[in-house]
């Protein structure tokens, strides 16, 4: 809804027949003897002066209101209405020489324009003019005073900002008619024309055309007012324009005015054709009446098309392709014919072919200088460039799986789950193709049989006609059954989730190479406009297809591999639409066979496209969109995997990129391990490649200096640990190492840093001191971790007697003491349900005075019943534990399945113990202590 507010403004009645519109500057002529105008000007200047040095008269608004009297009233020599009003108290006198016009309250129109006085011009004849510029429409609610000038309450009405398609179509029509009117007036100024025909100077015409062309839908209301002021209109029509607060209604009325004006001018001046190389021939009404033939008229001087490239779509121009149209008319049909051939080669589906045929017919009737001509031609060229039926033959044969497995292994180390899923897809595709090949052979045979029966139908010597018909119907039914048995390939939508740098993008490229399909990457990061996915409607200026259609045009086939990169960075609902919702039709296998791009506006089959999406996190992906995709998690690389990737791929690559040979720089295992552990703590290998590149560049400088100075014998290709420290600087990461000795109250926990995809150990320290039972938490512990401490303390207090920590069941172990729980590395925020078991063991260790073996690390959450709950990030945590020197890891029993996917080096280097209750953990940590058995613990099974 348009915005509105009220204000009290001085009111100046406009001369009879004058209407001021917003955005328009007009001159209002008044008499210097008019007391109301003098008083109004005095009040405006006083208000401007009261605002200080910065106060300007242009900043003080006034209301310019037209008069509502009939246009038949007597009019003075300068356009003033001459009338008398019996109510002298509610009137104002307008003096102009000997003529007097009196305006009363009832003569004011109900609507007006809030305007600003931009200047005052004197004529020296007792008259002066006010230059006023309209700012916004106002509705006159009430007139408070009439003397010495009118003043009243008005309500501002701001134009509504439109965004719907109907408004865009209406605006496009209005702008097209506006430019057509300007072009007609520009050309009419250069041609002989009947007396009284309107015209426009070429320079002003070019500026006006450029002005109209630059306006967008947001300026629809202003352009409507502007063109209403340009058109030749009657006073009631201008009043109607003033009252149209709704922008759509105003545009509809102005379109009618423009169409009437253009038609009126065309009746007086008709032009056969206007190009840069043809001569216009003028046909006047008198020529028609006299029966003169236009070919007998003497050609006039050539007239060129306006320099901005926009010409007038006159109704009297020859249709395209007719003789006598000049060189352009001879060439254009050939171009259309060429476009028609492109559309035939593209083999459009029936619905798209019908639309293309309709647009071709429209294009043949258009003048090439029309604005719509280029739009329609671009649209048809886009239709011709879309690969509707062009397919790439997949490399599916007996050796497909073996070659694909080798391709993936050569390009990627590890990532076994991803490779397994991609090989499954290839295997299914191969089997479907084998089945379809057998069905195609049977189809061919059945079609040949039906064809032979139909050819021999009239041969009575072969078989009776009735028998042939029966066999033909049976053959056709068999063909339909065989067609129904063909396997339809609905490509899956795979979503690769994992930290940056783990190979998500390169996996998709490797799959395309293995299949022999074309590959195209679409970056979705930062896409905030729905039109970038679904395309713009052709009614918009500079409309174009969406990213999906553009990708198909680029690859040129209907079955490529599309990588939808960073789908979790896709924008959400805003005033430009919802891009994530637009992706639903693209990624839904039940919908994407009829995907409709707004620019193409005809269904497009995307079911043959293999979509692979990548994301770093699932948090920002809407649930409906996530439901359309099959998720495959890439957790990151282990240290051994990184070492292998660096040795086999990254080091040879960086050596070549930095102008060295393999024998000119050597990386041993110690150097690679140093770079991995001390300089690159990440899940992927991007930073690892950067650090290796830094080492290679340093050796390149050293080798170049030795070569230039003739001292190659002094150059040492082998990198040492000292060289790494000198090149890369001090160590960026210091690994936590499990302690060799321990004391009561200290336990080693496990934590997974999701930001980098790595795991590490976490020391939990608990200390008691005399107090009143308070608990202090430090070490940047977040909410979930704080709750784990509270749950652990509650369980220990509840079972202090069974644990042997108090002598009586009713004794409170925290009665005379307080606790301080601390986790070192306070700069790192720590959160997540993973340390409950470690917190509990630490409290039992502190209260009992028994130390926990330093080589044991544990992870898992507990409930108030003492049950150990499962946690995530097992792979990262155990890799970090092995790197830190831990020997035994205690995990929840529910995480037993996660251990199966661990790398073999982790399985061999760690002893994994699974516990389901905190009592099992207590017995394992201190096996030499006589703990009560399960049947001795009151209510244990009930609590379980």
Find the catalytic residue in 248, 270, 830, 877: 877
| Residue found under tokens 């006083």 | 46
Kindly give, in sequence order, each residue whose CB lies less than 8 Å from that of residue 716, ignoring residues fewer than 6 positions away. none
The values of phi and psi at residue 615, to 5°, are -155, 150
In terms of Cα–Cα distance, which of 820, 768, 763 is closest to 789?
A: 820
Q: How far is the C-alpha of 434 from the C-alpha of 430, rounded, in Å?
A: 6
Residue 610, SS3 per DSSP: strand
β-strands 746-753, 758-770 pairing: antiparallel
Cα–Cα distances in angstroms (integers) from residue 732 to residues 277, 637, 697, 879, in the given order: 73, 19, 20, 19
Give CA–CA dist 565/497, Å, rounded: 11
Whether residue 492 is annotated as binding a ligand: the answer is: no
| Token pair belonging to 487 | 């396997």
* 505 annotated as ligand-binding: yes
Q: Has 674 been annotated as catalytic? A: no
> Annotation-wise, does 498 bind a ligand?
yes
Q: Find the distance separating the first CA and the last CA of the chain, reported in whole Å.
A: 62
23/11 Cα distance (integer angstroms): 18
Chain-centre distance for alpha carbon 408 = 32
Residue found under tokens 């510029």: 133
C-beta separation of 807 from 852 below 8 A: no
With H, G, I as helix, E, B as strand and everything else as coil, classify residue 144. strand
The C-alpha angle with vertex 531 and arms to 527 and 532, in degrees rounded to 5, equals: 40
Nearest alpha carbon to residue 891 among 903, 873, 908, 905? 873
504 is in an annotated binding site: yes
Q: Is 826 annotated as a binding residue?
A: no
With H, G, I as helix, E, B as strand and everything else as coil, classify residue 753: strand
C-alpha angle 628-630-636 in degrees, rounded to nearest 5: 135
Pairing of strands 817-822, 868-869: unpaired
Question: Does the N-terminal peptide bond of residue 650 adopt cis geometry, omega within 30 degrees of 0?
Answer: no
Tokens read off for 14 = 């406009």
| Distance separating alpha carbons of residues 79 and 85, to the nearest angstrom | 18
For 188, 412, 499, 512, the CA distances from 503, given in Å and listed in that order, are 66, 8, 9, 14
Instruction: Report DSSP letters for 99-121, one per residue.
Output: EEEEEEGGGB-SEEEEEEEEEEE
- Radius of gyration of the chain measured on its C-alpha atoms: 43
Any known ligand binding at 444? no
Determine if residue 501 is labeled as part of a ligand binding site.
yes
Cβ–Cβ < 8 Å for 481, 503:
no
The tokens for 485 are 């048995």
Residues 6+ apart with CB under 8 A from 815: 773
Residue 503 is assigned to a ligand binding site: yes
Task: Please check whether residue 147 is in contact with residue 91, taking contact to mean a CB–CB distance below 8 angstroms.
Answer: no
875 is catalytic: no
The answer to whether 104 and 88 have CB atoms below 8 angstroms apart is no
- Which residues of 824-866 form beta strands (DSSP E)? 856-858, 861-862
**Cis ω on the peptide bond leading into residue 148 (within 30° of 0)?**
yes
Q: Which residue in the list 580, 694, 834, 835 is annotated as catalytic? A: 834
How far is the C-alpha of 828 from the C-alpha of 600, rounded, in Å? 52
* DSSP classification of residue 795: H
Residue 662 token pair: 């393999």
Q: What angle do CA 920, 923, 926 make, to 5 degrees?
A: 145
Specify binding-site residues for ATP: 498-505
Specify binding-site residues: 498-505
Catalytic residues: 834, 877
């Amino acid at each position: 809804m348009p915005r509105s507010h009220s204000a009290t403004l001085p009111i100046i009645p406009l001369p009879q027949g004058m209407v001021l519109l917003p955005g328009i500057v007009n001159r209002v002529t008044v008499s210097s003897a008019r007391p109301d105008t003098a008083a109004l000007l005095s009040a405006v200047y006083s208000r401007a002066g009261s605002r200080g040095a910065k106060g300007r008269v242009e900043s003080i608004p006034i209301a310019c209101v037209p008069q509502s009297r009939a246009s038949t009233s007597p009019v003075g020599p300068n356009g003033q209405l001459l009338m008398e009003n019996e109510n002298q108290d509610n009137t104002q006198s307008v003096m102009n020489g000997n003529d007097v016009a009196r305006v009363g309250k009832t003569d004011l129109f109900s609507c007006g324009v809030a305007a600003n006085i931009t200047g005052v011009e004197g004529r020296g004849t007792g008259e002066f003019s006010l230059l006023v510029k309209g700012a916004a429409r106002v509705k006159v609610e009430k007139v408070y005073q009439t003397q010495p000038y009118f003043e009243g309450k008005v309500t501002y009405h701001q134009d509504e900002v439109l965004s719907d398609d109907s408004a865009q179509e209406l605006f496009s029509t209005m702008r097209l008619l506006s430019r057509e009117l300007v072009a007609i007036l520009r050309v009419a100024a250069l041609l002989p024309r009947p007396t009284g025909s309107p015209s426009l100077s070429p320079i002003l015409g070019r500026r006006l055309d450029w002005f109209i062309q630059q306006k967008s839908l947001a300026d629809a209301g202003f352009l409507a007012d502007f063109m209403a002021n340009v058109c030749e209109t009657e006073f009631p029509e201008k009043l109607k324009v003033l009252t149209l607060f709704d922008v759509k209604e105003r545009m509809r009325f102005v379109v009618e005015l423009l169409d009437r004006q253009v038609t009126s001018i065309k009746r007086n001046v008709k032009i056969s054709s206007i190009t840069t190389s043809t001569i216009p021939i003028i046909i006047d009404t008198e020529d028609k009446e006299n029966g003169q033939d236009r070919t007998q008229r003497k050609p006039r001087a050539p007239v060129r098309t306006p320099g901005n490239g926009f010409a007038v779509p006159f109704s009297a121009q020859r249709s395209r392709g007719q003789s006598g149209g000049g060189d352009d008319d001879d060439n254009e049909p050939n171009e259309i014919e060429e476009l028609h051939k492109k559309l035939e080669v593209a083999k459009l589906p029936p619905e798209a072919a019908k639309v293309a045929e309709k647009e071709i017919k429209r294009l043949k009737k258009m003048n090439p200088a029309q604005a719509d001509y280029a739009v329609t031609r671009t649209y048809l060229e886009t239709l011709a460039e879309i690969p509707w039926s062009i397919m790439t033959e997949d490399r599916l044969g007996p050796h497909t799986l073996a070659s694909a497995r080798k391709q993936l292994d050569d390009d990627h180390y590890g990532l076994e789950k991803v490779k397994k899923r991609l090989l499954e897809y290839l295997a299914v595709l191969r089997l479907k193709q084998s089945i379809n090949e057998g069905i195609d052979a049977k189809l061919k045979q059945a079609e040949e049989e039906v064809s032979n029966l139909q050819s021999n139908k009239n041969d009575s010597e072969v078989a009776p006609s009735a028998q042939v018909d029966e066999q033909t119907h049976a053959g056709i039914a068999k063909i339909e059954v065989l067609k129904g048995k063909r396997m339809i390939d609905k490509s899956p939508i795979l979503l690769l989730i994992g930290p940056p740098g783990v190979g998500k993008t390169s996996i998709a490229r490797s799959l395309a190479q293995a299949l022999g399909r074309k590959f195209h990457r679409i970056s979705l990061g930062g896409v905030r406009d729905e039109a970038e996915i679904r395309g713009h409607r052709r009614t918009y200026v500079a409309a174009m297809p969406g990213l999906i259609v553009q990708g198909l045009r680029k690859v040129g086939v209907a079955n490529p591999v599309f990588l939808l990169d960073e789908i979790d960075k896709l924008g959400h609902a805003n005033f430009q639409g919802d891009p994530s919702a637009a992706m639903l039709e693209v990624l839904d296998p039940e919908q994407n066979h009829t995907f409709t791009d707004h620019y193409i506006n005809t269904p497009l089959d995307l079911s043959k496209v293999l979509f692979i999406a990548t994301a770093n996190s699932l948090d920002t992906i809407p649930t409906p969109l996530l439901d359309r995709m099959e998720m495959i998690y890439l957790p990151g690389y282990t240290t051994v995997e990184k070492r292998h990737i660096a040795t086999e791929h990254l080091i040879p690559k960086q050596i070549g990129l930095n102008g060295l040979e393999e024998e000119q720089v050597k990386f041993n295992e110690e150097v690679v391990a140093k770079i991995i552990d001390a300089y690159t703590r990440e899940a992927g290998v991007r930073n690892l490649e950067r650090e290796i590149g830094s080492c290679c560049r340093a050796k390149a400088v050293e080798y170049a200096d030795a070569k230039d100075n003739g001292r190659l014998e002094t150059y040492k290709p082998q990198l040492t640990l000292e060289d790494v420290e000198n090149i890369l600087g001090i160590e960026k990461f210091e690994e936590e190492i499990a302690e060799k000795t321990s004391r009561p109250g200290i336990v080693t926990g496990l934590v997974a840093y999701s930001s980098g995809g790595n795991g590490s150990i976490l020391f939990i320290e608990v200390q008691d001191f005399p107090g009143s039972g308070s608990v202090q938490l430090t070490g940047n512990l977040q909410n979930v971790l704080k709750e784990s401490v509270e749950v652990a303390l509650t369980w220990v207090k509840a079972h202090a007697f069974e644990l042997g920590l108090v002598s009586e069941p009713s004794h409170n172990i925290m009665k005379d003491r307080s606790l301080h729980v601390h986790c070192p590395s306070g700069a790192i925020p720590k959160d997540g349900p993973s340390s409950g078991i470690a917190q509990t063991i630490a409290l039992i260790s502190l209260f009992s005075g028994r130390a926990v073996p330093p080589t044991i690390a544990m992870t898992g959450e507990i409930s108030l019943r003492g049950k150990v709950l499962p946690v995530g990030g097992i792979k990262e945590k155990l890799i970090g534990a092995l790197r830190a020197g831990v020997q035994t890891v205690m995990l929840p029993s529910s995480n037993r399945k996660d251990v199966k996917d661990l790398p073999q080096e982790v399985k061999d280097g760690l002893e994994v113990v699974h516990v389901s209750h905190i009592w099992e953990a207590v017995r394992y940590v201190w096996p030499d202590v006589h703990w009560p058995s399960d049947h001795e613990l009151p209510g244990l099974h009930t609590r379980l």
